[in-house]
Structure 1
């Protein structure tokens, strides 16, 4: 398909192509199902120990928290602060990862007897990352220890200020490292050079959980469900320990450790016993994120840490309202951005300037625009309070946005992020300079936004192979997410049947994917218009199989990622511009005279046409055919004749009529009937050749069948006629039916009937595409 406004083509490729033998061998050696084996091979998970840990994802896979850089220093500082009853402050972030990180740290310290205060920056007043004014405020409150979560590693100057005030600082973060680290008392980060952690892609909540693990031991498992939300929400790679955090977190959710989380799950109409990582990503996390996008995210921390069920319900109701408002704002802003997107069609990086856009939804607008144009995108809006442009950036795989932006850090008043996402503040006067400088970055990084987008799929299956057992096999690789995407299945040469629009704006698609025999229900978000373009053409469909539950009944459902006219369908569409289906039309002289040439395969029809009043040029199939539009009048005796004709037929328009005088279809040789007749002839010595009609009635066979079979028997020397009687011949060798010219001719005519006459037009053109010169 074409994404966005048609600038970028999506090419689907198999993630890996292990052979059937490789899959079978791998499955046997590891005692695994072949579907599971193929998925593991595609992910390069082949070591037995790695396979076991990947498929297990049990709590035993949690690593020693003291392997993290400065963990021992951080615990010593926390122990000292608690023992001396020092005032501890937690400085978090306003996204879902930041909210869950703050919540984990708060609950951990409370379990140890501390009474920490926390501060979640306001997106609109404080901006992204460490804020000097807020640090000053906290220092004025007399704090002794500041613990940052999900931020802080880029706050060199701000942290120096606290240190100069005598405040101890523990930084816990996971974002990309700046050139120079802050001089904090401890920096707990999974990617410190020389001290890289075994799971370098922890989320902020993951790092916070590891501190809880070091402080609380097994009791920390009561917090791992919160860590799972932050891990999924921040789209970090679901590899190694992150898989354990999410898998165990989903298991812990069922135990209802947190009344606020329970209330949120209930509000989302989820069943806690069936909750998945997809529910976190599409239901729970967006609602927590909405708080920080439109309001202050502190209420999210209150929700996840409260023990008051009624208070939790109040926050959840408020959260639902905020999330609905967020959806409306995004829809409006994205529609407003379309003119700017078109105006920057030639730019390597798109920079959008909001027209009254809410700052909280800039990241979503940037993300949706990126998906539309496959380019890095910065979405900005002027902030009247601070007098600067606030912005959020997103970039596709293959382009490192952090690297590109970090080169120009001196232009920003605030900046932070990682390869695919960032947040920043910049003077309005500097934004144009930044925009111009960034346009060179795609070329320098070797990123071509106009190149086809390459996407991977995992399995080639037929619809008949879909069942609930297949879902169980696929889910052995869960949890799915970044670094371990949910497997995408390709279905080749299928159609979209009974397609209809659904949703408030009627843009979503509900359809049936069919191969003519089997079908499966499918949903495609925002795909109804795309479905209208392919119609009933044969498609290759890509999607993820899942379960739809309605009114207590479960059924299979495909969530569509894409569908494209198959290569075969494109050939058929091209041939429909050349060939016309006249097989069921009544032809008059006037109609025939509209053609330049009329082509014949049979001399009988050719001679008869010559005696008519047809003015069009009449030619045999093996003569030169140079007309602009022709009609093939009759059907050939064999497919080979027709194949050779269309290999050379370069006319612009060809009508296919395929006339014959035969009223019935060609006879299909029936082996059982042939054996019955031959057995009768061998056991009756007084059968006269002209008594075949009586024989046919006696054996309950058609007379024309008996005549055909008898001629075949003569040609193969199975029988002979002696003195007008049919007798068994003295055959000296075994003969094959196909050695009979009559039998062979009948098979050829049956093939002609089946393909040229009985097939629908699309199937006929599909067959012709293998031979036709227009392809």
Structure 2
């Protein structure tokens, strides 16, 4: 797939130079800061030096006082408290954090994860019925519940109070819960709106600790689990999320909880985790528990108190992940085949595919793979409990949630974010939904949004990549949404030696410019470009700068995102050495 190279606008030179002098860094690094909205020395200090003092007062969140008062009342009276969470990474880490914290202060507490296939997403009637039969009088719902108006009304009839801790966009009406903690509430003045579900749970225990004079260490011990939720739920790593992710990665890499330490070992990488490592190594394994079997296995791993128990759960989850991969590859192949055989599907601006036999647990992964292949808003549907369930993914800049709002008359329920969502409909509405979704997408998406782009932050010469530059660049981490690893463009580079094809269609090569050092490069998934790279012929690359560690040796490596050959100037071959 051809990708559009989009170079970000360069800030005013006076603005760049002034900040560069104040910070004693070069103009390229200063440009990156200004592009991220960092324009003063104080803002840069806040950015480069995350501090626990940057965490906001949890009582700034609407209803936090009410939530803490209700929990204190329940603990004082010995009530049975249920910690209820979704079955994905954000939900299971949320449950692990809040359950583990309150378990230290209240013995009459359990957790509950709904069955993905029998109960579906969010608060379920089955879960409320179980709570009522077992004598629970307070449920703390995490990463779900903001749209469960009818379910909360049902719980109220059963004499069960709810505290909702959610980060999804509310509907027109809030549930009638004792407390609704969600920074996206229109009436919530909390200064940061993009916490993960686990982040909301963290603010809840932070508030309880502050109100009851508990040491902050009782709260900060869960930083690693919060970082996992931030990474895997793809929330912006800016503001308070950046602070939480920064300290979470520190804890993950120095003193992780027993469950995460075990999972890191099972995943084959025990040190130097980044946000990307969490997403690709830990997240799929935690998710696999609920996709293939029961998400309670993930919670049991994350709250494990001894290594033997954690090892047993970690190995089980890894087996589930292997099984998940098999379903994933099979369904992806079948979906790609359906598209390839239909000219109508190929020509559309959206992709919707349906097979009633597909495994519901992996359709979100398949939707992501189809989006990567065809780069357009995508929905993958399958049968589930008499209905049709779907998972949707979007492309850069296109609001998928709004598109689904345009199809809401055909849906039983839906929810999610700008780039990922879940939905349920009656089987008889599938054909109408396919047409309606295409109609909505076609009328709202731009031509540019349908062309995958590489966002380039700045132009750089290879001679500028030296130790101080790399040291400061590393302090831009942790990287993630809205603070992605900077991508640079360097023009007129030359290959040294012979580039080779490695692994599954990846290019490994070494490049340089006149006067520069040689830099090792890896270009993932770009094997088709190999024939375009010729000795003594210049080409352009765009890339991120990384540290590669291999057998205890560290070196700077360029992770090449795109390659564009350039014609050699007439009458000149190669370059002056």
Partners of 1:530 and 1:32 lie apart in 2 by 35
In the alignment, the residues of structure 1 paired with residue 449 and residue 206 of structure 2 have an alpha-carbon distance, to the nearest angstrom, of 46
For CA contacts below 8 A with separation 6 or more, give which structure has more relative contact order: 2
Distance 1:450 1:35 in 2: 28
Larger radius of gyration: 1
Summarize the Cα distance change of 1:357–1:136 in structure 2 as closer, same or farther, 3 Å threshold. Answer: same
Tell me which residue corresponds to 1:499.
499
Residues 509 and 523 in structure 1, CA contact (< 8 A), matched pair in contact too = yes
Q: Which runs of 5+ in 2 are unaligned?
A: 211-215
Deviation at 1:476, TM superposition (A): 1.4
Distance between the aligned counterparts of 1:78 and 1:336, measured in 2? 49
Measure the CA separation in 1 of the matches of 2:224 and 2:449.
41
Please state if 1:201 is matched with 2:200: no
Q: 1:190 aligns with which of 164, 183, 196?
A: 183
> Residue 751 of structure 1 corresponds to which residue in structure 2?
none
SS at match of 2:3: strand
CA RMSD of aligned residues (A): 2.3
Q: Is the 8 A contact 2:139 2:161 kept in 1?
A: yes
TM (norm. structure 2) is: 0.92
Change (3 A) 1:31 1:493: closer
Q: 2:37 and 2:448 mapped to 1: Cα distance?
A: 28
- Post-superposition Cα deviations, 1:722-756, rounded to whole Å, max 9, x if no partner, equal xxxxxxxxxxxxxxxxxxxxxxxxxxxxxxxxx84
* Cα 1:351–1:449 shift into 2, 3 Å: farther
The 8 Å contact of residues 532 and 565 in structure 2, kept in 1 or not, is answered as no
Query: C-alpha offsets along residues 571-598 of structure 1, whole Å, 9 cap, x if unaligned?
Result: x7xxxxxxxxxxxxxxxxxxxxxxxxxx
Q: How does 1:23-38 map to 2 (within 5 A)?
A: 23-38=16-31
Report what 2:407 is aligned to. Answer: 408
Match of 2:276 in 1: 278
- Aligned equivalents of 2:29 and 2:307: distance in 1? 42
Matches within 5 A, 1:30-179: 30-179=23-172
Distance 1:324 1:535, change over 3 A: farther
Report deviation, 1:180: 1.8
Return the alpha-carbon distance in structure 2 between the equivalents of residues 125 and 246 of structure 1. Answer: 34
Q: Secondary structure at the match of 1:16?
A: coil
Check the 8 A contact 2:289/2:320 in 1, yes or no: yes
Q: What CA distance in whole angstroms lies between the structure 1 residues aligned with 2:49 and 2:7? A: 26
Counterpart among 308, 311, 316 of residue 309 in structure 2: 311
For these two proteins, the number of residue pairs brought into alignment is 564
CA contact (8 A) 1:36 1:476 kept: no
Aligned to 1:391: 390
Mean Cα deviation higher: 147-156 or 175-184: 175-184
Aligned to 1:586: none
Q: Please say if residues 400 and 419 of structure 2, whose CA atoms lie closer than 8 Å, have aligned partners that are also in contact.
A: yes
For 1:477, what is the secondary structure of its paired residue? coil
Shift of 1:33: 4.5
CA pair 763-426 structure 1, distance change in 2 beyond 3 A: same
Q: What is the CA–CA distance in structure 1 between the aligned matches of 2:97 and 2:27, rounded to whole Å?
A: 40
**Structure 1 alignment gaps of length 5 or more:** 4-8, 573-754, 765-775
Give the corresponding residue for 1:556: 556
Structure 2: distance between partners of 1:257 and 1:502: 34
Match of 1:541 in 2: 541
CA contact (8 A) 1:128 1:424 kept: no
CA contact (8 A) 1:109 1:115 kept: no
Matched, 1:420 2:413: no
Q: Give the conservation status (yes or no) of the 8 Å contact 1:375–1:449.
A: no
Change (3 A) 1:562 1:335: farther
Equivalence for 2:213: none
Distance 2:332 2:300 in 1: 31
CA contact (8 A) 1:150 1:172 kept: yes
Listed one character per residue, the Cα deviations across residues 60-101 of structure 1 (whole Å, up to 9, x for unaligned) are 111100011111111111111111111111111111111111
Could you give the per-residue CA deviations for residues 298-330 of structure 1, whole angstroms, max 9, x where no partner exists? 111111111111010111112222223323332
After TM superposition, the score normalised by the length of structure 1 is 0.69
The alpha carbon displacement at 1:535 in A equals 5.8
